[in-house]
Amino acid sequence: MLYPHLAAGDPEVRNLIMHELQRRRDGIDMIPSENVTSPAVLDALGSILTDKYSEGYPGRRYYGGNEYIDQIEELARARARSLFGVTHANVQPYSGSPANQAVYLALCNPGDTVLGLSLFHGGHLTHGLGVNFSGIYYKHLNYTTTPEGFIDYDGLQQLAEEHRPRMIVCGATAYSRKFDFARLASIAHSVDAFLLADISHIAGLIVGDEHPSPVGHADVITTTTHKTLRGPRGALILCNGNPSTPLKAVEKTRENIPTLIDRAVFPGLQGGPHNHQTAAIAVALKEAATPEFKTYAHQVVVNARTLCAALIEQGHTIVTGGTENHLMLMDVTKHGLSGGEAEVALGKAGITVNKNTIPHDPRKPFDPSGIRIGTPALTSRGMKEPEVRAIAEFMHTALMHHTDDTKLADIRRTVTELSHAFPPYPELNQPI
């Protein structure tokens, strides 16, 4: 029996977990920010390390009994430094948004101007949305994409020269093309701005040699660990240099970035780190350093391009006309659908995606024109080009018959048959 302690102590929670497992067994998850972690990551994440308080950093804790926690965190930091090719890594941020918040706190003062990609053109909440801390405590300006969906580097340059921001943020949650980190750094440094590269979506592709790295270009790099890296929910902050432990505050300069980052994470924003999460990150980073992971990252991109080509061949509209990473945006309005309606129809067919704005979207954000589609999770399950082409056909049929619940149910049965051949967690493949 799976989760026997839950079965005895809280069968209600166990039942819901098992139903979620069954949902994933029966369908295909294509949300780009989701993936399938390894059993080893799950073991670390559910370990006794969750019990321990460890405020501070290795060798400088505010609690006793951290000799083994120190070793775990040092292991995670060393693996992060090695994998990404940097000299400093902070592995304590609870997730991606707190990691970005720590960088703002470290490098900017409230009211400073920050320039980030608009959420509605593929950016993230923490890149300057007005209702987010990044838009509340900082003067945020947004650069955008061209009508075709490509980042408008010329427009970004003009905004930077006009407003001279304290920091420029690059990275995205819904952008299907590679980032020109060298050009972004040139723009930022030409106006004496810091460059923050948020690589949360593409970190696994970077370490898998499928996307250029921002190392050597960006002043600070942040990433979540649960997307293309296939780790637990958590985050990393990466930079070059070595932190110091002065008694007095240090100036906000490039030379002091490692110290500023560490102080921003703790005690600036967080208390005790989540040690079980740190251990699971260490496990994921070890896995990401293997040749097998490079093969995986390559297949993620191959699968995305295969899916994109198949959908275009069937007459669907893909923003930018293609993809160079793990995701794509589809404009569904030509089929008389909103993004929300497309999400519901595909969900009924057993395919999970999310509604999403497209660049220069004429519709409202909660009722957008597009859907966001990705291949990390299905690739982790072992699916390759033949399965991806079949999925494209399932998606096409579902969208063309989005009001026909009988047809959608038929597709769902076929999707479930395919899904069962590639279980997300084979070792958990037991009856509910």
Direct distance between the N- and C-terminal alpha carbons of the chain, in angstroms, rounded to an integer? 9
- Confidence bin at 241 (pLDDT 50/70/90): very high
How many CA atoms lie within 13 Å of 25's alpha carbon, on the beta-carbon side? 15
Domain ranges of the chain: 43-288, 291-428
Per-residue pLDDT reduced to its tens digit, 126-148: 999 999 999 999 999 999 999 99
The yes-or-no answer on residue 198 being catalytic is yes
Query: How many Å apart are CA 59 and CA 303, to the nearest integer?
Result: 45
- From residue 253, how far is each of 59, 85, 184, 260, 386 by CA, in Å? 26, 21, 19, 9, 51
- From residue 268, how far is each of 55, 98, 140, 219, 262 by CA, in Å? 12, 11, 22, 20, 9
For residues 407 and 401, is the Cβ–Cβ distance under 8 A? Answer: yes
The yes-or-no answer on residue 227 being catalytic is yes
Q: Which of 53, 137, 153, 425 is catalytic?
A: 53
Per-residue pLDDT reduced to its tens digit, 336-389: 999 999 999 999 999 999 999 999 999 998 899 999 999 999 999 999 999 999
Q: Which residue has the tokens 């209702």?
A: 131
Q: Does the pLDDT of residue 289 top 90, yes or no?
A: yes
For residues 18-30, give the mean pLDDT: 96
* Rounded percentage of the chain residues whose pLDDT exceeds 70: 99
The yes-or-no answer on residue 320 being catalytic is no
The yes-or-no answer on residue 255 being catalytic is no
Q: Which of 37, 224, 228, 357 is catalytic?
A: 224
Q: Which residue has the tokens 């985050």?
A: 235
Q: What is the pLDDT of residue 246?
A: 63
Per-residue pLDDT reduced to its tens digit, 164-209: 999 999 999 999 999 999 999 999 999 999 999 999 999 999 999 9
Compute the CA torsion angle 209, 357, 342, 373 (nearest 10 deg). Answer: 0
Q: What is the pLDDT of residue 247?
A: 60
Q: Which of 139, 178, 183, 233 is catalytic?
A: 233
For residues 222-229, give the mean pLDDT: 98
What type of residue sits at position 342?
Answer: A
291-428 fold? Aspartate Aminotransferase, domain 1 (3.90.1150)
Q: Which of 73, 198, 287, 343 is catalytic?
A: 198
Q: Does the pLDDT of residue 10 top 90, yes or no?
A: yes
Q: Which of 55, 70, 112, 385 is catalytic?
A: 55
Please choose, from the candidates 50, 67, 49, 48, the residue with its C-alpha nearest in 3D space to the C-alpha of residue 58: 67
How many CA atoms lie within 13 Å of 417's alpha carbon, on the beta-carbon side? 8
The mean pLDDT value of the chain amounts to 96
For residues 117 and 143, is the Cβ–Cβ distance under 8 A? Answer: yes
- Confidence bin at 417 (pLDDT 50/70/90): very high
Q: Does the pLDDT of residue 244 top 90, yes or no?
A: no
Binding-site residues for (6S)-5,6,7,8-tetrahydrofolate: 119, 123-125
For residues 300 and 205, is the Cβ–Cβ distance under 8 A? Answer: yes
Q: What are phi and psi of 222, to 5 degrees?
A: -120, 150
| Most distant CA pair in the chain, distance | 69
- Structure letter (DSSP) for residue 166: S
Q: What is the pLDDT of residue 215?
A: 98
- Structural domain 43-288, CATH architecture: 3-Layer(aba) Sandwich (3.40)
Instruction: Count other Cβ atoms within 10 Å, centred on residue 108.
Output: 21
Token reading at 194: 């810091």
Q: What is the pLDDT of residue 429?
A: 73
Q: Does the pLDDT of residue 88 top 70, yes or no?
A: yes
Q: What is the pLDDT of residue 255?
A: 95
Angle formed by the axes of helices 385-400 and 291-313, nearest 10°: 40
Q: Does the pLDDT of residue 274 top 90, yes or no?
A: yes
For residues 300-304, give the mean pLDDT: 98
The yes-or-no answer on residue 12 being catalytic is no
Binding-site residues: 119, 123-125
What type of residue sits at position 358?
Answer: I
What type of residue sits at position 217?
Answer: H
124 Cβ partners below 8 Å, 6+ apart?
Answer: 96, 100, 116, 117, 171, 172, 173, 198, 200
Q: Does the pLDDT of residue 415 top 90, yes or no?
A: yes
Q: Does the pLDDT of residue 63 top 90, yes or no?
A: yes
The yes-or-no answer on residue 53 being catalytic is yes
